[in-house]
Chains A and B, each alone.
Chain A
Amino acid sequence: MDIRENRAQKINVTIDGKVCEATTDDTILRIARKNGVYIPTMCYLSKVEPIASCRMCVVEVEGVEGAILSCQARATDGAVITTKSSNLHKQRQNIMKLYNVNHPLECGVCDKSGECDLQNKTLEFGVNTQSFTAKDMSRPVENWGFVSYDPALCIMCEKCVRVANEITGNEALQISTGGYKSSIVNVKKDFNDASLGESAAVCPVGALVSTDFKYTSNSWELDKIPATCAHCSSGCSLYYEVKNDKIYRVTNDFEFRSLCGAGRFGFDFANENTSKDNEAFHKAITAFREADTITFSSHITNEEALILQKLKEKYNYRLVCDEAYGYQQFLKAFGSVSGESLYGANLESLSNSKGIIVLGGRINDDNPMVKYHITMASKRNRARVAYMHPIEDSNISNIVTQFIKYEVGSEEGVAALLANALLQDKELPQGLRDFLNDLDIGNISAESNIGEEELAALVQSLDKKEGFTLVIGSDLYNHPRAVQIAKLIGAIQKYSSFDVLLVPPFTNALGVALICTLDEKVGNYTVGYNAVGDFELSCLGEGDLDMPALNQQEGTFTTIDKRVVPTNVASSYNGYVLNDIANALDLKSIYTIDYTSKLPVKAGFKAMAFDELPFGFDIAGVEHRGYLLVSKPIKAIEIFEEIEEIPAYDGAIIYRCNLNGQFGMLSNRTKALKQDEIYLKGSVQFAIVSKISDGDEVEYIVDGIKYKRIFKLDSSLKGTIALHQNYDMGLSSTLVSSYRFSHLTLEQ
């Protein structure tokens, strides 16, 4: 997993008389923590590189002059370390005295009170008088949109800056130094960035806080409900903080993990004011008896997916899930070559990589957590990041080392070129070798518009490095040639030094893909569960029967990390749930979570009951949440087809892609994220090709849905592809069965 760890040697160090086993790459602080020895810190944050700005973590090492910063210093074999002495105590006490100089005495109103590091350490070191002084000055609070900054409270620990640079990668925060005048400045104030919520989360004092939450509740009044984020397939762990049946905010184990803006601020999507509507319920049962198809969104729990699968087995329904079908087929084809039912990489291995290729997805918008982990790899390991896509993304230009542009529709050729480049000097079975040798490289290069020298440069840049990840995005899952592409990617997983991460396109798409036997086409009469149908069960509150939203149910999700994780009820729900319907249709189970232990072991799940699933992290930062899926061996059949002629995508093209932290029907229901104006965004070139101009209202049809949008010029875009968003479409936003690029035909 951690590549750095492999090279480290085993050593023994003594900390406060305790002999501790460690490795040479571990810092003294980490060793101490792992062994239960407490060293106070103010600026240390486990998930970023040591900041070393507070000096609270000083320790004494025998035979070494002066104080050692334990957060930064690595241990040497046989070192004898003292973490507590009267001298160290005095030093630390003085640091706390300095932190308290002119710190406003406003704990009484401060959001952080009760969970504030400054409060805690001030008490811990018994600072009850003030002996230093500095002239106070006016330092007004700054409102940056999602977060607010109060420089008077800031202790300049730099955690927020580090997170913005090293993890979220928004690079919005900088330090303005000037002794006592120092403060944090937001250099991107014009852009109200929800990912700054991450910086607020790590702030040890009340300096950087959520603007919306500010002064609304004391932290100790809120109940923490451990749950899993419902917005995207990363399934981050979080806590809904609840009082009087209202979610006040979302927090997380920020020491080790992060959340994106949607996870942090988009929490109020519950289906409220529901009741047990008997009439609607009976209609639903009738609809189920009549229906031959259940369409559904992958925004459901594993248990619900299993209920649907059982209903299928009993009543022969067709199960249609646009959000997961392509992914399921892709995963299957991928496994048929790689020989494994699951892909190899996960988020942690991604952040530890030294070389990363992203293919077929606008990763910054599709899955922020993947982007964060690429940022970590880039900032910490100086990883090479190649971004292969038809549209350049200026938001990630700070981490991408090589942008490789290819033609829309040419993904099969691109995958073949990539396989050819990455498998060049690898030992391959004859069939695959022949296939690669037979490729008409020149032709494919020409058609896909990827220069041979570009790939050569890519391969060369990875030379003498190790730890590679290939990130696959959702452009490929619904590609007309998805099966062939998946096989090529499978070959890369199996034979190259690359680990593949098949980013699931939507929340729990992986779970649905593993649990349900999906069908492609709908029949005559459909019941839609959080999806369009003749009879609609909806958590948006606008269907024929209400269903609970994902923060109103208990159950499990399957995340991008191939982990099955629990989520709990944060907001009460009084209506009917899917299990009630299933019971009425003779599947007997008291609670939905009775299905947790029945998830298919064949697909890699474990027969673990819901209440046995753990949640949280240990002191060393190891995640203990749910369990990891077991990848099952699959008999590999390596049959590749000829590369197909690349269809021409000329003229104006639109790309289905939700921007700015929007994911779909849930995110746009929330107060913090809701947007009223939704644009079709394109470049000047696109405007010329499609003969429209900035501010025009255009009408067009995608996936059978008619859209009316204002066209907006976006100077960060180039070329003839516009970005088309569908997150405001409610249940219709789940109709995503087609390839993400399509021709734009304007309705006049």
Chain B
Amino acid sequence: MHEEIIHTNNTSKEKQNYTMLELGSTPAYGWPAFKQVVKRSLSRELFVGLWLTIKEMGKTLFLGGKHTTQYPFEKLPISPRYRAIHNMLRLLESGHYRCIGCGLCEKICISNCIAMETRYDENQRKEVSEYTINFGRCIYCGYCAEVCPELAIVHGGRYETASEQRASFSLFDDMLTPIDVLKQQQEFAGFGSVSPNADAAIKKTPLAY
């Protein structure tokens, strides 16, 4: 059913075509209104939509389709660039810790939370006799990892920093790769690691041999 309505005040002076919908009458009081709701709710569309949900529920519940990570039993892998509690790495060949006690991390630390002591040891090396990071103050800026000339201090992925003792996991030995898992020590790829083109960029020193 088309009707032509001519708007006489339309400036375009063109004809506009409108289609009128047949909506039936709006229920005016309680009972017819209730009937309308029931009729609309229980018609098929609802179950068409719900079917997908029920199907997925079935898959999840009975066919092993769960996607939830079972934290804290399960943790998601974290990007190497994430900056959490530090790791202290070892040399892969000798197993000796890499830190030479240069103190650059201590110096650069923006929140002044690295404290270390060094001494001259029996092998004429500079030994790191004390090394702690106060994680109550650390802001995980990553400067220490970046400045370290030995790739000794790096950020790890350990982001849970709740503990009973402030001192927990802040000592050198807590951060150091345990010697028995030395083989699994990963070279760090995040903040402060060597650039991918490091080999090409290096300048060779002449040697008289």
* A97-144 residues at the B interface, CB under 8 angstroms: 107-109, 113, 128-136, 141
Q: Mark A678-709, 1 if CB is under 8 A from B, else 0.
A: 00000000000000000000000000000000
Contact flags B97-129 to A (C-beta < 8 A → 1, else 0): 000111110110000000001111000111100
The CA-CA distance from A107 to B125 in the complex, in Å, is 13
Secondary structure at the A interface, as helix, strand, loop or mixed, is loop
Q: Is the CB of B203 within 8 A of A129?
A: yes
Does B207 interact with chain A (Cβ within 8 Å)?
Answer: yes
Q: A497 to chain B: closest CB distance in Å? A: 53
Cα–Cα distance between A538 and B124 once the two chains are bound (Å):
40
The complex places the Cα of A140 from the Cα of B4 at a distance, in Å, of 109
Which of chain B's residues 155-209 have a Cβ closer than 8 Å to chain A? 203, 205-209
Partner-binding segment picked from A211-219, A334-342, A418-426? A211-219
Judge whether A130 and B205 touch: CB under 8 Å.
yes
Q: Which of A128, A129, A141, A221 contacts B124 (CB 8 A)?
A: A141
Where the two chains meet, the residues of B that have a C-beta atom closer than 8 Å to any C-beta of A are 100-104, 106-107, 117-120, 124-127, 149-150, 203, 205-209
Chain B residues whose C-beta falls within 8 Å of the C-beta of A135 in the assembled complex? 208-209
Given contacts A109-B100, A109-B126, A215-B101, whether A133 and B205 have CB atoms under 8 Å apart is: yes
Q: B119 to A133, Cβ gap below 8 A?
A: no
Q: Which residue of B lies closest to A106 (CB)?
A: B100
* A591 sits at the interface (CB 8 A): no
Which residue on chain A has the smallest CB distance to residue B99? A108
Q: Does A220 contact B (CB under 8 A)?
A: yes
CB distance from A638 to the nearest CB of B (A): 62
A133 touches B100 (CB 8 A): no
- How far is B126's CA from A113's CA once the two chains are assembled, in angstroms? 14
**What separation, in Å, do the CA atoms of A132 and B103 have in the docked complex?**
30
Interface residues of A in 203-240 (CB under 8 A from B): 214-218, 220-221
Contact A133/B207 with A108-B100, A215-B101, A218-B103 known, Cβ cut-off 8 Å: yes
A601 to B192 Cα, complex, angstroms: 63
Residues of A within 8 A of B205 (CB): 130, 133
A133-B208, A141-B124, A221-B103 known; 7 new pairs, CB 8 Å cut-off, are A107-B102, A108-B150, A128-B203, A215-B101, A216-B117, A217-B117, A217-B118
Query: How far is it, in angstroms, between the C-alpha of A467 and the C-alpha of B100 when the chains are bound?
Result: 55
> In the complex, what's the smallest C-beta–C-beta distance from A574 to chain B, in angstroms?
23
Can you offer 19 A-B residue contacts whose CB atoms are under 8 A? A107-B102, A108-B101, A108-B104, A108-B150, A109-B102, A129-B203, A130-B206, A133-B208, A134-B208, A214-B120, A215-B126, A216-B117, A217-B118, A218-B106, A218-B107, A220-B107, A221-B103, A221-B106, A221-B107
CA distance A133 to B127 in the complex (A): 31
**Inter-subunit contact A108/B102 (CB<8 Å):** yes
Residue of B nearest to A130 (CB): B205
Which residues of B lie under 8 Å from residue A129 when comparing CB positions? 203
| B104 (CB) vs chain A CBs: closest residue | A108
Q: Please indicate the chain A residues that have their CB under 8 angstroms from the CB of B100 in the complex.
A: 108-109
- Alpha-carbon distance between A720 and B127 when the two chains are bound, in angstroms: 52
For the complex of A and B, list the 8 residue pairs with the smallest distance between their C-beta atoms, beginning with the closest: A108-B102, A109-B126, A133-B206, A215-B120, A135-B208, A215-B126, A218-B103, A133-B208
Residues from chain A with Cβ under 8 Å of B124 in the complex:
141
Does A109 contact B208, Cβ atoms closer than 8 Å? no
Q: Which DSSP category, helix, strand, loop or mixed, fits chain B's interface?
A: loop
Q: Interface size for chain A: under 10, 10 to 19, 20 to 34, or 35 or more residues?
A: 20 to 34
In the bound assembly, the distance between CA atoms of A220 and B207 in angstroms comes to 33
- The closest CB in chain B to the CB of A219 belongs to B103
Tell me how far the C-beta of B110 lies from the nearest C-beta in chain A, rounded to whole angstroms.
Answer: 16
In the bound complex, how far is the Cα of B202 from the Cα of A128, in angstroms?
Answer: 12
Question: Chain B CB within 10 Å — which of A107, A128, A215 has the most?
Answer: A215
Residues of A within 8 A of B104 (CB): 108
Assess whether A215 is in contact with B119, with CB atoms less than 8 Å apart.
yes
Neighbour of B118 across the interface among A128, A136, A215, CB < 8 A: A215
Report the separation of the CA atoms of residues A217 and B102 in the bound assembly, to the nearest whole angstrom.
9
Looking at the assembled complex, report how far the CB atom of A431 sits from the nearest CB atom of chain B, in whole angstroms. Answer: 67
A109/B107 contact (C-beta < 8 A), A133-B206, A133-B208 known:
no
Interface residues of A in 600-657 (CB under 8 A from B): none
CA separation between A136 and B126, bound complex, in Å?
22
B59 vs chain A, min Cβ distance (A): 58
Q: Which of the residues A108, A131, A220 comes within 8 Å of B206, measured between beta carbons? A: A131
The interface residues of chain B lying within 8 Å CB-to-CB of A134 are 208
Chain B neighbourhood of A141, CB < 8 A? 124
Q: In whole angstroms, how far apart are the Cα atoms of A108 and B107 in the complex?
A: 12
Question: Which residues of the other chain, A, contact B103 by a CB distance below 8 angstroms?
Answer: 218, 221
Q: Please name all residues of chain B whose beta carbon is closer than 8 Å to the beta carbon of A214 when the two chains form the complex.
A: 120
Closest to B103 in A: A218
Name the residue among B103, B150, B209 with the largest chain A CB count within 10 angstroms: B103
* Residue numbers in B under 8 Å from A133 (CB-CB): 205-208
- CA of A558 to CA of B127 in the docked complex: distance in angstroms? 43
Q: Residue on A with the closest CB to B129? A: A216
Q: Are A108 and B203 in contact (CB under 8 A)?
A: no
Q: For the complex, give the distance between the alpha carbons of A131 and B205 in Å.
A: 7
Distance, CA A133 to CA B101, complexed state (A): 29
B206 contacts A216, CB within 8 Å? no
Cβ B119 vs Cβ A132 within 8 A: no
Residues of A within 8 Å of B120, CB to CB, are: 214-216
Q: Nearest-CB distance from B95 to chain A (Å)? A: 20
B5 to A: closest C-beta gap in Å: 86
The closest CB in chain B to the CB of A217 belongs to B118
Q: How far is the CA of A254 from the CA of B188 in the complex (A)?
A: 45
Could you say which of A128, A135, A218, A221 has the most chain B C-beta atoms within 10 Å of its C-beta?
A: A218
Query: Please, which residues of chain B bring their CB within 8 A of the CB of A136?
Result: 208
* Contact partners of B127 in chain A: CB under 8 A: 215
Task: Count chain A CB atoms within 10 A of each CB in B107, B124, B150 and give the residue with the most.
Answer: B124
List the A side residues contacting B118 at CB < 8 Å. Answer: 215-217
The residue that B101 contacts in the complex, of A107, A109, A130, with Cβ under 8 A, is A109
Q: Once bound together, how far apart are the Cα atoms of A132 and B206, in whole Å?
A: 7
User: Bound complex: CA of A216 vs CA of B127, how far in Å?
Assistant: 9
The docked-state distance in angstroms from the alpha carbon of A135 to that of B209 is 6
**B129 shortest CB reach to chain A, Å:** 9
A132–B209 Cα distance when bound, in Å, is 13
How far does the alpha carbon of A104 sit from the alpha carbon of B120 in the complex, in Å? 18
Chain A residues near B150 (CB, 8 Å)? Answer: 108
Chain B: minimal CB distance from A248 (Å): 11
**In the bound complex, do residue B149 and residue A108 qualify as a contact, i.e. CB atoms below 8 Å apart?**
yes
Which residue of A has the minimal Cβ distance to B127?
A215
How distant is A632 from chain B, measured CB to nearest CB, in Å? 52
Q: How far is the CB of A675 from chain B (nearest CB, A)?
A: 23
B79 to chain A, nearest CB (A): 29
Pick from B118, B127, B205 the residue with the most CB of A within 10 Å: B205
Contacts of A215 in B (CB 8 A): 101, 118-120, 126-127
